Structure 1
Amino acid sequence: MSTQEILQNIITTFEVEKFQGFFRNKSRTFKPVELTFDGYNNENFTNCKAIGQLEFNDGIEMLISSVRVTNSLTERTGKKAQFQLAKRILKDTDRYSSGIFIFYDANGNFRFSLVYDIPSFDGRRTWSNFRRYTYYVSKEQTNKTFLQQMEEADFSTLENVIEAFSVEKVTKEFYREIANWYFWALKHVKFPEDAEAEENGRNIATIRLITRLIFIWFMKVRKLVPDELFDEKNLKSILKKFELKNDNYYKAILQNLFFATLNTKQADRRFTSKRKGYRGFSKDFGNHNAYRYEEEFINSEEVIEKYFMPIPFLNGGLFECLDYKSRSKEERKYIDGFTSIKREQPKVPNFLFFADETQVDLNKEYGTTSKEYTVRGLIKTLSLYNFTIDENDPKDVDVALDPELLGRVFENLLASYNPETAETARKSTGSYYTPRQIVDYMVDESLKQYFKTHLKESTDSIHAVGNTIGTDNIPAVGNRNGTDNIPVVGNCNGTDNIPVVGNCNTGIYPFLNPHDEINIYHSGNLPHWQQQNVWYFVTFRLADSLPVETVEAIKREREQWLLQHKRKTNEPYSLEEVKEYYKLFSERVEKLLDDCQGSCVLHQENIAKIVADALMYFNNKKYVLDDWVIMPNHVHILVKPLPGYALPEITHSWKSYTANEINKVLGKSGQLWLHESYDHIVRNEEAFYAIKNYIRNNPIKANLNLASCAQSWTCKSADSIPAVGNIEKVPTTSLLSDPLKTGIESSDALDTALDTVIESKDALDTLFSDEEGNPFDEATTEKLVSLIDSLRAV
């Protein structure tokens, strides 16, 4: 028997002993073993035993073990408990460095998991991730991924076994099949003339079809959309003349599913009215929330009631019909073609969804010659793969296709017709999307800030076990217990209870808002975060403010320091390390800047006035200024753009205008400012006042007497906010500059690092860590659960 036949037999009629035949087929070194692990049986696991072992080429042995799970096994349950048991067995036997563990239930469902140790330099044994290398197998699924991966698996080395559990390999294969289908479909589909007339219109419409259908497939996995709508046999009892050569599946099933179901509330779902209106058209002409193609169904009312009505309303843009009425009321544009006008309807043959595997010529599309490509109907391709509705984090990845692939598919196919990336996309399966790690980081940071802002009880009082560091080190100005001492400047009628800064209302959320949209763009080497209605701390400096050789020397020293203090992922630096880093690099850079390196032309009153006038020119028109200071070779500003104006345009206008004017005065030309500025969204109220302190103390710290026009609090033309509370010389470590990759620019990176020191064991950071187990004591756990449970969003 072949590997697939053996495994298929196991899936159909499950018996643990049959796996011995599988491993014997895969490895000549496999030996059956009869050894029970009765000591590990408990209320969750029984019949723990070894069924065999095999030896790799390097002489290392792998254990093959089976365990019966007392409860029903599902795709989403029990992984961690199973991993802990497997790890215990490997630790206690102390003979095997890895094992394949088969966890099964009474129904014959099983999880096929790889667990192995990762030696460390200090001799300790660390272990593979508990969800990273595992297949869930059930007779209710196609199990195509598991069957194919195991058939191709090489059990001669541990590295090869790990490759057999590689989700990257599975997704790459899936992309290839989808890409083949896409290029094949382009030869056979036809969309409304308006869609086809757009640049790359057919490509875009086809990609839209794919992304909509894959999204629905995940809903199908979640049992939110019935399987019968994708079953070829069942469709013959639903649709008239359901044949591969016809094109009624896309129109009658999918378009009705996209627009009249998912984009329509259940109470409003119905077929278009038969009553005639203007020019003899139905009264529902142009109504994209009504079902169409009634004539295609054998029993239309029954089908809608049985299959479509239970599907939930999504109200998402993906399923909004793109047909629209143009400015001329007599003219309509048809992009999706969800209409009763036949000439405007799309033509997508049924065989594109249900054809069996066939060979097609895609050499032109891929830039190859004499090569055959395999394609099959899209529904049949989707049916072959295991999908999971768990969108895993970067380190916990099931060997199955998760919702993240929707973005990957979209980006890869989008690149297929973009002239800038077409050649690359055709010859590789590289990703064109925001990496999951970046998204994961953004989500974690946003949730932390959301919890800090919205929990009914302050999280500052909740600490992980053993925490001795609180948030008391955040410098505060005046009374920070409330907002009583925050001045209201200007006329803000009706907003007495809302903190106001400057002479306009800052709104309820004038700082970083983690649950609002954040735009990230790169200018030079630094990432820049943008958000509406927030305060920014902005710094820009003269191009000659630091000698190039000094910058390069500090960069080399910094890289050497980071190598010597290399951290594991998410492991925070100690307080002593951060103090050392600050003294060696950040404090040193600040001192160099304050020592007036370079020309320091901003120290001249007439030059400083040019910058001050530029800052004040659009104050309260395009932005609101708080404190600012013009140091001899750099400028610090607290600024909040007003609606309709973006920070990059504001900083560009400041630097462009002042560079021209200052060069005129100096009789020079060429670069004045360093091209890239540093901008940082102010995270919260405490940070806002700490930055104010920092700006006001910058001249004092540098022992400089600046011209009155160089400081917002002494500049006569500045109508920005007066000082709040007692402005003292306070520590501002969380606001200091960091000599990063770009050449000693201030950076959010050190801000984050220092915040981590201040709050490294704060409950929220620990809550989002990747460490296993609960780091909180019982009282703290109850407190956290209660607080988070009070959040409606969660």
Structure 2
Amino acid sequence: MDNRTLLKKCIDEFSKENLVNVFRRICPKYSYQEENYSHYLDKYAEKIKSLQKLGSAEDDEASRLLFFMGEIKGLYSSQTGKKMQYELAKEILKAENYDAGLFAFYDSAGNFRFSLVHALYSGKKRSFNNFRRYTYLVLKNTPNKTFLNQIGKSELSSMDKILEAFSIEAVSKDFYAGFQPKFEKIASVIRGDTALTEDARRNFALLFVIRIVFLGFIQKKGWMGGSKGFIQDLWKEYKESKDSGDSFYKEWLEPVFFTILNSPPGKKCLSDDTPFSEATKKILDSAPYLNGGIFTRNEDMDTKGRYIPDKEIEDFFEFLFQYNFTIEENSLYDEELELNPEFLGIIFEQLVNKENGAVYTPRTEVDLMCRLALAKWLEKNS
């Protein structure tokens, strides 16, 4: 049984046995040792029900790793017990004098947060105050593609390889490797305007994918009538309707973009001949007003009759929604390894010429610059 099969089994049926099998497969130096760690839970009993140590490992460079499984109270959302789990992990690693730990906190439905927490170093000296966490939130009935890809191909035989398996850079690279050919295909098939230049094609394709990715985050928030799969459901409704002839972009997406998301409450007036079902109209009527410009009709691109054929839209949807969306932005010491809002910046930077100033600055770097500037100011003024 290969890594991905073991991981899928753990997702489908989370249990101690399946988790230990995953640890054994992905970490060659793993040594099973079960121990009750509930004595650490006094401060965390409000959110965490139980905690067990499931083993340890030591690599060739003498970095030491602990393995844990814990059960939370209640069901997972993106924020459930997140901070408390992090604080507990740091406390254990400090007390046990270990370099890092793999923690799987699960809920009663079998969803789990799979996290690496590790100490930061200054040269060869470990800091007992600063730790960093990287997390995959693994939910049943979602694709969990990033988790399966990154952990599925990993062998955690050294701290460097462990960090690579939990690297946001690796996740971004993997995503973009699949994203770019989809984007290029969309740009090459745009129809409805015979005077298209290559730049115009790419700009129209870029605007389309950014709108769809942005809408993916909006539906993840539950702002599309509570539906977290609104776009996929809209596509399914279109496929089951009598519409045909590559009409999804013009007849279905444009009203969502320009009439619904670009109009304030009370002014979301769909025409009588819109093809949406009553259930979809009800969702659209409660959709948010996003007046930041992204869904404003662009005079240079959205008024020329341009559209994208159904096949390329379907291919892009199938690719994009294999990934889990998270609405949590990363901080300096805590990173979610899923599609987060930073990906909009990453996509834009990768696709647009950096010489024109399209360089995305991650939140962690902004945070560092602010800290350095504040420290300098305090040094001069105190």
Tell me, yes or no, if the aligned pair for 2:37 and 2:52 is still in contact at 8 Å: yes
Contact 2:28 2:157 in 1 (8 A): no
Which 10-residue stretch deviates more, 147-156 or 301-310? 301-310
User: In the alignment, is residue 221 of structure 1 matched against residue 224 of structure 2?
Assistant: no
**Secondary structure in structure 2 of the residue aligned to 1:17:** helix
Partner-residue secondary structure (3-state), 1:139: coil
CA 1:26–1:408 in structure 2 vs 1: closer, same or farther (change >3 Å)? closer
The CA deviation string for residues 204-263 of structure 1, in whole angstroms up to 9 with x for no partner, is: 1111111111111111111123424323544434x3245xxx412212221111101001
Which secondary structure state, in structure 2, belongs to the residue aligned with residue 397 of structure 1? strand
Matched, 1:335 2:273: no
AA matched with 1:380: E
Q: Distance in 2 between matches of 1:185 and 1:138?
A: 30
Distance 2:178 2:310 in 1: 18
In structure 1, how many angstroms separate the alpha carbons of the residues matched to 2:64 and 2:162? 13
- The count of corresponding residues between Structure 1 and Structure 2 is 375
Of residues 360, 373, 381, the one that matches 1:433 is 360
Corresponding residue of 2:307: 347
- Aligned with 1:268: secondary structure? coil
After superposition, give the CA deviation of every residue in 1:757-791 in whole Å (9 maximum; x if it has no partner): 435xxxxxxxxxxxxxxxxxxxxxxxxxxxxxxxx
Distance 2:332 2:39 in 1: 35
SS in 1 for 2:334: coil
1:441, distance to aligned residue in structure 2 (A): 6.8
Query: Could you tell me how far apart the structure 1 residues matched to 2:368 and 2:61 are?
Result: 39
Per-residue deviation at 1:199?
7.1
Q: Which residue of 2 aligns with 1:5?
A: 5
Counterpart-to-counterpart distance in 1, 2:125 and 2:180: 46
Following superposition of structure 1 onto structure 2, how do residues 627-706 of structure 1 map, counting pairs within 5 Å?
none
Match of 1:309 among 285, 291, 300: 285
1:249-328 alignment, distance < 5 Å: 249-272=248-271, 294=274, 297=275, 300=276, 302=278, 304-323=280-299
User: Is the alpha carbon distance of 1:7 and 1:431 closer, same or farther for their aligned partners in structure 2, counting shifts above 3 Å?
Assistant: farther
Structure 1: segments with no counterpart, 5+ residues = 274-292, 324-333, 338-343, 355-376, 422-429, 446-568, 573-752, 760-794
Q: CA deviation at 1:111?
A: 1.1
TM-aligned CA deviation for residue 395 of structure 1: 4.2
2:330 matched residue in structure 1: 392
Whole-Å Cα distance in 2 between the matches of residues 187 and 119 of structure 1? 48
Match of 2:207? 208
Amino acid at match of 1:64: F
**Does 2:34 align with 1:68?**
no
Using the size of structure 2 for normalisation, the TM-score is 0.87
Answer 1 or 2: which has greater helix percent: 2
**One-letter identity of the residue aligned with 1:104:** Y
Q: 1:431 and 1:58, CA in 2 relative to 1: closer, same or farther beyond 3 A?
A: farther
Deviation at 1:121, TM superposition (A): 7.0
Percent identity, aligned pairs only, is: 30
SS of equivalent residue, structure 1 residue 318: coil
| Preserved contact between residue 217 and residue 327 of structure 2 (Cα < 8 Å) | yes
Answer yes or no: is the 8 Å Cα contact 1:56–1:156 preserved in 2.
yes
The correspondence of residues 352-371 of structure 1 with structure 2, limited to 5 A, is: 352-354=312-314
1:381 is aligned to 2:382: no
Residues 266, 301 of structure 1: CA spacing in aligned structure 2 closer, same or farther, 3 A cutoff? farther
**Matched ranges for 1:367-516 at <5 A:** 377-415=315-353, 432-436=359-363, 439-440=366-367
2:31 paired residue number: 31
Q: Is residue 15 from structure 1 mapped to residue 15 from structure 2 by the alignment?
A: yes
Residue identity in the other structure for 1:109: N
- Displacement after TM superposition at 1:183 (Å): 1.2
Aligned in 2, Cα 1:50/1:439: closer, same or farther, shift over 3 Å? Answer: closer
The separation in 1 between residues aligned to 2:280 and 2:20, in whole angstroms, is 49
Q: Secondary structure at the match of 1:317?
A: coil
2:59 maps to 1:83: no
- Contact 1:116-1:127 at 8 Å conserved across structures: no
Equivalent-residue separation in structure 2 for 1:61 and 1:122 (angstroms): 14
Give the equivalent residue in structure 2 for 1:45: 48
Q: CA deviation digits over 1:646-704, x for unaligned, max 9?
A: xxxxxxxxxxxxxxxxxxxxxxxxxxxxxxxxxxxxxxxxxxxxxxxxxxxxxxxxxxx
Q: Secondary structure at the match of 1:107?
A: coil
* 3-state SS of 1:311 partner: coil
Judging changes above 3 Å, is the alpha-carbon distance between structure 1 residues 31 and 440 closer, same or farther for their aligned structure 2 residues? closer
Q: Distance in 2 between matches of 1:301 and 1:220?
A: 18
Structure-1 residue corresponding to 2:381 = 758
1:39 Cα offset (Å): 1.1
Could you say if the C-alpha distance between residues 142 and 197 of structure 1 is closer, same or farther in structure 2, counting changes exceeding 3 Å?
closer
* Conservation of the 8 A alpha-carbon contact between 1:259 and 1:319: yes
Measured in 2, the distance between the counterparts of 1:220 and 1:104 equals 24
CA contact (8 A) 1:17 1:51 kept: no
Task: State the one-letter code of the partner of 1:412.
Answer: Q
Instruction: Normalising by structure 1, report the TM-score.
Output: 0.44
User: Which residue does 1:711 correspond to in 2?
Assistant: none
Q: Distance in 2 between matches of 1:137 and 1:438?
A: 27
Residue 401 (structure 1) shift: 2.2
For residue 184 of structure 1, what is the amino acid of its counterpart? Answer: K
Residues 63 and 98, structure 1, Cα contact 8 Å, conserved in 2: yes
CA shift in 2, pair 1:392/1:29, >3 Å:
closer
Q: 8 Å contact 2:348–2:358 — kept in the other structure? A: no
Contact 2:102–2:114 (Cα < 8 Å) also in 1:
yes
In structure 1, distance between residues paired with 2:91 and 2:209: 45
- Superposed displacement of residue 149, structure 1: 0.6
- Give the equivalent residue in structure 2 for 1:715: none
5 Å-filtered alignment, 1:146-165, equals 146-165=147-166
Give the alignment's Cα RMSD to 1 decimal: 2.9
Structure 1: distance between partners of 2:75 and 2:263: 37
